[in-house]
Each structure stands twice: as structure tokens, then as C-alpha cells.
Structure 1
Amino acid sequence: MAIKATRRLPSLIALRAFDALVRQGSTGGAALELHVTHSAISHQIKKLEEELEVALVERQGKGVHLTSAGRKLSQLVNGAFEQLRDIHSALPTSTPSGSLRIACAPALLARISKILDRFLRDYPDVSLYLLPIEQANQSTDIVISFGDSEVEGLRIAALGDIMYFPVGSPRLLNGAEPLRKPRDLEKQVLLHEDDGYDWSRYFLAAGIPSLQGRQNIYLPNAALTIDAAIAGTGITISDHILAGEQLAQGTLIRLFDIEFPAPHPYFIILPPRGANELSKAFAEWLMGELEMIARVG
């Protein structure tokens, strides 16, 4: 069956998910490669089929079984992405070299460190120094903050529509105090990276503003609340940017369907010394990666 001709460019995010699915041979493998959830991959494949108005994957049995249209699209997509991967070597301009000192909030720092290999493939002569945001100083090239910062420099707002929701270990679902609805959280330990503001906003969104957890643990940052949630210590509030990898791997699960908007966007700040070609290239790359995670996570 031929793919229906169309002048509208299909979603590049959906095409990327399809390409990963075919190469990895499974939804799980594609999810791990792109650092998103299994359901996100399935959603993007379905979206691509709707855009092209043709079935691409046979949904029966294990593994990935492509339709004739899927096999044709796979050849086209694979060739196109191979050309895109080689784009830097094909361009006559030189690739920036040197080093970047990047200061970032702990949880986002942990997340970004898992995908930096993609940047380094395109910039083989670059070294990266990743620092806690508290160590940002005059020698820092890039600062990535949640909300604004006192650091001087060019501000680039990224991902202003982040949504928060509870996450926890799958072991807690059928534990001594099962989790079936938001009100069940009153029997759970709640993990906080702040003074309780995020949880109060969640309970307000859930229509139970007076609810409180059985006990509370207050931690210095979101990275530690995520680690504690994975260990089964309690439930925390997070998002697809910070907890996306754990959600994709199944070490954390999203609880319930209720969510609420994060109070601030992420800001990429280029201090005066960091406003150079390499810093701008990293900022542009990072915004694209985070946008990908936010859309399909």
C-alpha cells in the first residue's frame, strides 16, 4: 500500500520515534534511546499514521512488524536521518572547539548529563565541565536555572509550559496502603524539595486542598526527592523533564491524571563571557533536546 502523498511535512518528532522503533526493534528500546516513556512512543507512531493516513505497524505479537507502507517509510526515514547525522561533516564551515563550563540545578544537571553524548558527537573537539548552580561564577559560560537568576547575561526562556504531577515507585501501588485515587496520598509519605508549596498546589488542583500526607520528608533538591521516590521512601512531585528517564525505565510511575503547571520556566542564561559561538550552539541544541523530551515524554 502506497503512502498517501501530502504537501504537509509530517511531525519530525513522530518520524524520529518511528525511526528509533524500527532500529531498536521494540517500543521499550525506542523509549530508552529517546529517554521518553513507552506510551509516548506509541502515541507518536499513532500520530504519524494519522498524519499519513496509512497503517505503518501491525499491532499483533511481539516485536515490531511493519506493513508494506511502514517498510517503505523506514527506508526513506533512515536515509534522511543518516544524511542529517552527517550534516556537520558535509558543511564547509569549521566546528567550534574549546570548553564550556555549565552550571545547572542538580536534578536537571543529572538529566542533561545522560544525553550529552548527542552533543559531543557533533562537537568532537569540545570539553564540558558540569557544575552545581551554586558554583556559578565569572568563569561560567552557561547557567541553566529553574526560574530567573541573579546571574547577569542574555536570558533564553525555554519550556514555559511544564506540568507537574506525583510520581512514585511501582511497588507502592499494591503495598500496604494501595494508591487508587489522590485522596489515598494521605496515607503516604510525601517528599518535598521545597516548603510544601508544590504539594499544596497539587491538592488544590485535585479538589482536596486540606489533604496532608501521613508524614513528610524535606530534601535539599529535586534530584534527591527522585532518588528517594525510586527507593520507595515516598511520593514526590516531578515532571517529564526531570523524571522522564525513570518513567521510561519503569522505576517510577506517574500517579493519577491530575497535573498542574510549574511556577517557572527553565532559563538558559549566557553570561557576557559565554556569549560566543560555542555557547550559543550548546544553548540551541539543549533547547531542542528539552523540547523533544517535553513533547513526547
Structure 2
Amino acid sequence: MPTLVSLRAFEAVARHKSFRKAADEICVTHAAVSHQIKALEKSIGVQLLERTSRSVELTPAGEQYYPPIREHIRGIIKATQRLQAPEEPDVLLVQSYASFNTMWLQPRLADFLQDNPNTRVRIISTFEDGDYDMHRFDVGVFNAPPFDKRFDYSPLFETDIYPVCAPEALSSSSTGLSLEELKNFLLLSVPSTWNEPDDWDRWLDAAGLSRESMKFGSIFDNYPLVREAVLNNHGISVARAPFCARDLERGRLIKPFDLSVPEPGQWYLATPKERARNPKHETFVDWLFEQIEADPTMRFFRG
């Protein structure tokens, strides 16, 4: 296990792309930061940074290592801040994945806040199943099976997945692709975290295509990141129907195949069992149910 000191030094250098700025931020010398980076690389046996006389760049391994290290360093900082600062009892805390929050909840939230001007909402994003900030949310929305006895779970919705691409990926005279043409594109993905077949495995199997005949490109931490890569025509990815609906409506993304398959698992509403009754919580949950029930890309379960 690398030391926290070396991981903190790596996170600062990777973020600033500078040993000097990293040293200034964490209040040590340039030499001390360099020593910690070398110790980290020796400890894990992988080069993380490319150093020149004028710049610092992440290696491919560093690019892969940096995002989760950044998130966990930030998590430690936030946890410490919570001990040092009082809670905000009047703020409703809503936690879900970055994909759900960014690509579905946020575009709708303004309407809720306009209708409920006395309710303040804080949105908390997580990137992994079960990475719950259990002391810091009133409402959680997760695509994970009920596994934690500290929470009450209610089935919320199911949805479908299918490939999407940028309009530039298609010829000007085409509105779609043949299955055979898919072999000419890089397939971008987000890894599965629940020992399930990943999105591409599930869709390719339904399409009768072999994974071995495809060209796979980059693997991304989360769906907002892979969405940006697809929008920039760097490849094709599998998307969840609710999270790409607006991009499809606006023509920013194209659905090149008619075939859709059910997403692995279903989504749940999670609430801490040790929670006092809160009318604002109930108002938000009722609004959330209405929004999901009205969304044609979701199959809603009413409790």
C-alpha cells in the first residue's frame, strides 16, 4: 500500500502538471515532492510521470491512476472538513452517480427548486457502486443490489442500453450502421463493478457479434467522461437511455442501431434507516417519482 504522503504528492503534481506548484500547495520543497514521486513509482513498480526540463506529463499508467487517487484524496479532505464544520440541517442531501446527477437529475432540478423555493438541495456524486457517503445523504439513487443493512431500499426503475456515436461518425447519406461496419470503429467503455458482463458484452451478445472481432479503445471511469469522448467522435460507446435522451433529441448523438437491451440490474431508491421524518424529503421523493414515471426511457416501479 503506497503511503498517503506519496499519493498526496502525486495527486498535486498530476493536477498542476508542475513539481513547483505542487510543492507550494503542500508546503514542502521541490526535492521532497520529487522524492515522494520516485518512492511511489518504486513502490508500485510503474512509471506515472514523464519528466522533462520544462514540463511534467502523465504516462498512460498515470492517466489511469490519477482519477481514483484524486477522488479518494478529495474524500479524505471532505471527511476532515465535516468533522471541523457543522452540518447544514436545512439542506436536503441527494446522492447518486455522476452520470445520473449530471445527465438526468441536474437538467430537471431547476423546476423542482422553482416550485419549492424554501428547499435547498445539495447534490453529491459518487463514481462506484456502494461508495456511499452514508452520513451525508437523505436520498440515494443507485444501480446496485440491496446489500447494506443500514439502508432501506425501494426498487425505482429499469432502463435499456444501446450504442451511440457522434453524427460525424456516419457518412452524410447514412442514418445508421450495419452490424458489420461496427468492426471499423473503436468501442469505448466503462468497466462493470458488480461482476456482471459489461455493457458491450451484453449488447454484442444480443446482436450475435463476437467480442474478439471488435476493436476496443479507451476505458473511462464514468459515463460523463465517455460521453465527452463520443461527442468528440473518438469512438462509439454504450449509453443508458435516460442519460443520452437529450443528446439524441438535439442531434448531438446518433443511435446507429435499432437494437436495445435491458441494462444489467435495476435502480433503487436508498434512504438511511436512522432518519427522522422530514416533509422536504417526502416532497422531493414524490417529485422524483413523478419525473421517473413521466420519462418514457424508464420503467418505473411505484412502491
**Whole-Å separation in 2 of the counterparts to 1:215 and 1:229:** 13
User: CA RMSD of the aligned region, Å?
Assistant: 2.6
1: CA distance between counterparts of 2:151 and 2:280? Answer: 16
Determine the structure 1 residue equivalent to 2:145: 148
Quote the offset at 1:184 in angstroms: 1.3
Q: Cα 1:179–1:245, aligned 2, differ >3 Å: closer, same or farther?
A: closer
- Provide the C-alpha distance between the structure 1 equivalents of 2:211 and 2:186, rounded to a whole number of angstroms: 16
Which aligned pairs between 1:135-284 and structure 2 lie closer than 5 A?
A: 136-148=133-145, 150-151=147-148, 152-160=150-158, 162-174=159-171, 180-194=177-191, 197-210=198-211, 212-272=213-273, 273=275, 276-284=278-286
SS at match of 1:242: helix
Q: Does 2:110 correspond to 1:109? A: no
* Pair 1:125 & 2:118 matched: yes
- Secondary structure at 1:243 match in 2: helix
User: Contact 1:179/1:185 (CA < 8 Å) preserved in 2?
Assistant: no
Query: Offset at 1:141?
Result: 0.9
| Contact 2:155-2:266 at 8 Å conserved across structures | yes
TM-score by length of structure 2 reads 0.60
SS at match of 2:281: helix
SS in structure 2 opposite 1:115?
helix
CA gap of 1:107–1:172, structure 2 versus 1, over 3 A, is same
Question: Following the alignment from structure 1 to structure 2, what is the Cα–Cα distance between the partners of residues 255 and 137?
Answer: 40
CA positional deviation for 1:251: 0.6
Partner of 1:30: none
Native 8 Å contact 2:134 2:272 kept in 1: no
Do the aligned partners of 1:203 and 1:211 also contact (CA within 8 Å) in 2? no
Aligned-partner residue type, residue 104 of structure 1: S
Q: Which AA in structure 2 matches 1:136?
A: D
Q: 1:147–1:264: 8 Å Cα contact kept in structure 2?
A: yes
Provide the rounded CA distance (Å) in 1 between the counterparts of 2:113 and 2:244.
23
What is the number of residues matched between the two proteins? Answer: 199
Q: Which residue is equivalent to 2:14?
A: none
* Structure 1 residues 178 and 251, CA gap change in structure 2 (3 angstroms): closer
- Cα 1:178–1:255, aligned 2, differ >3 Å: closer, same or farther? closer
Say if 1:98 and 1:125, in contact at 8 Å, map to a contact too: no
Q: Normalising by the residue count of structure 1, what TM-score does the alignment of the two structures yield?
A: 0.61
The one-letter code sitting in structure 1 at the alignment partner of 2:271 is L
Question: What does the per-residue CA deviation read over 1:43-80, in whole Å, with 9 as the maximum and x for residues that have no partner?
Answer: xxxxxxxxxxxxxxxxxxxxxxxxxxxxxxxxxxxxxx
Unaligned runs of at least 5 residues, structure 1: 1-96
Identity rate, percent = 20
Q: Residue 293 of structure 1 aligns to which amino acid in structure 2?
A: D
Cα gap change, 1:209 to 1:291, in 2 (>3 Å): farther
Cα gap change, 1:255/1:107 in structure 2, threshold over 3 Å: closer, same or farther? Answer: same
